[in-house]
Amino acid sequence: MLETLKQPWPWYVAGVFIGLTVPYLLLVGNKTFGISSSLRHLCAACIPGDVKFFQYDWKKEAWNLFFVGGITLGAFIAAFFLSNPDPIALAEPTQVYLASKGITDTSHLLPAEIFSWEQLFTLRGLIFFVIGGFMVGFGTRYAGGCTSGHAIMGLSSLQWPSLVATVSFMIGGILMTWFILPHLLTL
Amino acid sequence: MAHNFEHTPTPREVADLQVRELDSICVNESELVHPWWYNLKYTAWGVLFGIVFVKAEIISWFRIQEMFRFESFHMYGVIGTAVIVGLISVQLIKRSRVRTIYGEEIHIPKKEFNKGQIYGGLLFGLGWAVTGACPGPLFAQMGAGYSVIIVTFVSAWLGTYVYGVFRDKLPH
């Protein structure tokens, strides 16, 4: 049993579970699924300043912070008690491509060549952590949601603005992956 | 403005709701006031969610590269299945008019279109491919012990803050 759980879980298990988050949140508390809002609530709670966008009673949205706290804890449990000892089974062409860019360590979920403290004060670190993270936080709020709020919750409830947002996410990601990242990976 | 106040809201309540509704995705005005530990329902589901995130390798930078390079079905399978399950669930909830476990009417706020969904969406997409993470996986990556992701997380937090500051000056 434990051995089976330690293997990587298939996409359909993850997909069904993530999809069920939508009715779970609606049924237990009339909440709509969305994760990026947690960043906004953290701003409202910690650094509201005199910014109108953060002037609201964040405690009414505290459930969202309890939810992301759970995600952090769950990831800890999975990584330390259910972790898969084998390297990640990456698609062959992706593996070949990344190797050509010097990324060969697939023993962790993130490549050690990029995501390590040693890289922090390099140009690579600045781009992958600081600028990358900024674009995620700024972009999701500007778009009014992320993969969970738009791609899953929005599409599930047939809201066309969410389709626009989801297509934009994909276009941005494709542009980065095919045209910009090849240069960034060799910095 | 959609809400489900059961009493006539005070101007202050309306103003507070309006601010939270600015391109929001999770606003519901519940009449119910619960002790804080009622929120542990969300933590419990979050724990399962975090486990799934790690075990299905959704938080992996490599899986995001595969997705954007169209070299693996994995992430499309995850997101596609999630949308189908979500869609069926929402339809069942709407048609059966089922209420929450506390007896409240279920309300899904409508999302209004604005150009931010395009500009912000493109920007987030660019960031997603670089960091290999959307906001959910950022929490999971930190939880899974990738401590340097704290830097990415703080940057994302700062990004949200800067958006809030300049919101009025940006095209929407």
pLDDT, tens digit only, all 172 positions of chain B: 445 566 777 777 766 666 666 655 445 566 678 899 999 999 999 999 999 999 999 999 999 999 999 999 999 999 999 999 999 999 999 999 999 999 999 999 889 899 999 999 999 999 999 999 999 999 999 999 999 999 999 999 999 999 999 999 999 9
List of residues 6+ apart from A4 with CB closer than 8 A: none
Question: How far does the CA of residue B8 sit from the closest CA of chain A (Å)?
Answer: 18
Separation in Å, CA A118 to CA A114, A186, B147? 9, 16, 12
Give the tens place of pLDDT for each residue, A6-35.
999 999 999 999 999 999 999 999 999 999
Contacts A147 to B, Cβ<8 Å: 79, 128, 134, 136
Residue A57 phi, psi dihedral angles, 5° rounding: -80, 90
Interface test with B, best of A4, A11, A47, A54 (most B CBs within 10 A): A11
Of A39, A83, A164, the CB nearest to B117: A164
State the pLDDT confidence band at A60, using cuts at 50, 70 and 90: confident
Q: Does B150 touch chain A (CB under 8 A)?
A: no
Task: Name the closest residue on chain A to residue B150, using Cα atoms.
Answer: A129
Higher pLDDT, A47 or B21: A47
Q: Quick one: pLDDT at residue A159?
A: 95
> Cβ contacts (< 8 Å) between A184 and chain B: which residues?
130
**Whether the predicted pLDDT of A163 surpasses 60:** yes
State whether residue A64 sits within 8 Å of chain B by CB.
yes
Three-class SS state of B99: strand
Average the pLDDT over A89-112 and give the result: 95
